[in-house]
Structure 1
Amino acid sequence: MLKNFFLYGSTLALLQLLIACGPAPEEGQAVLKDVETVSNETDGVQKAEAKEAEILIVAFGDSLYAGYGLDQKEGFAPELQAALIAEGKDVRVYNAGVSGDTTAAGLRRMDFVLDSLTRKPDLVILGLGGNDMLRGLKPADSRANMEAMVRKLDEREIPVMLTGMLAPPNLGAEFSKEFNVIYPALAKKYNIALYPFFMDGVVGRPDLFLPDGLHPTAEGIDIIVGKIAPQVAKLLES
């Protein structure tokens, strides 16, 4: 596992370099793109399916949730929905993942996403922070944004489950210490469910990643869903 985690660190180091060399998106353009992407996803079909299902789950995250590079039915949300249905749950998992989202971008669009739904979700699975880590953003800011989203959901009386990320060793001990505590600390403070590391089971296995070395293949998503789905099912029964 330690060897796998260092491989994870090497991959992210290369991606950080690519991000640093690329142009930063304009803030206003980023917000507009986020809203447009979510708006396109809230079509009549998805809303109708949400009405028909007894349980509505919102998967709110970044490209790891959005199914970047995969066919429409191979992403995290549709695969999680299929797994829960196979367990006898009448559930719709709404894909609210936006590629490139930071915690700040997620915070900006959360109200829009929730207000666009036809009903209040029974659960929000919240997984952001990976892009903050890649860009070297301050962990304190990431934590504040994540907490603000958790509080929004709490104010709306919507249960939440966090899926965490872990900073690899190459980012430095101090950064890792500050970043890695974000998810368990929030889970403890707000008494919410936590899946500690979204990429558990795929890190260190190049065959489970797309050519970019960051996003899981369909097989990788299957492994992730296989680990997360039982915890989600248990939450729905509580």
Structure 2
Amino acid sequence: MLSSATLDSNSFSALRRQETRRTVRYLADRARAGLAINVGEQIFVTILNVGLAKRVRRSAQRMDRMFDRIISQRVGMDKGSKGNGGDFLMVLLNAKDEDENMSMNHVKALLMDMVLGETLRLHPALPLLIPRCPSETTVIGGYTIPNDSKVFINVWAIHRNPNVWENPLECNPDRFLDKGYDFSGNDYSYFPFGSGRRICAGMAMAEKVVLYNLATLLHSFDWRIGEGEKVELEEKFGIL
């Protein structure tokens, strides 16, 4: 049910498009009435209406146009110093100029992958993975773990460990530019969906849903906070 082939099938993608369009209509009605929207709550409800998966050709075209506008504005600016002197978008544009095999499509794809990867590093959906029970006594990091002990893997703490990550509390998507981090769980410094045989079965679905909903909402609306309100940046307990 959660395989890539099933998620990309027409029956599942049609359901996801229907649910997302319903969300867009709801948000549009609220916007026309001048009412504020709790995006986190609404997206959570939308994602729970699963059955899905999506074919994102149309949505990808919309996102491409959005990225084109952003990148065109930046290309028209003085790129300044090379390398680490600019933000991660400028680094990508500089890399494109230096590598003839790299196209603007590569820049946009890397841009989205980096932002998504950094978001999941800072805020994994499940901070504590499924508990493990070692079959024999093991020593890890100087700690002795007796056999049959129930061990919870704190992936949230691993993703914020200063011994593993440079400036771990800083949201810095360009840290994913030169590193081979992915969601497969093969790198034990970054595994937001777990690893091994107990890796999250919905990993492929989660990746598709996040990109699809983000692209649709960015394309459909011009976002701003309510008058007199401020964006709350303090972390709180919860999934979203």
Is the strand fraction higher in 1 or 2?
1
When normalised by structure 1's length, the TM-score is 0.26
> TM-score with structure 2 length normalisation?
0.26
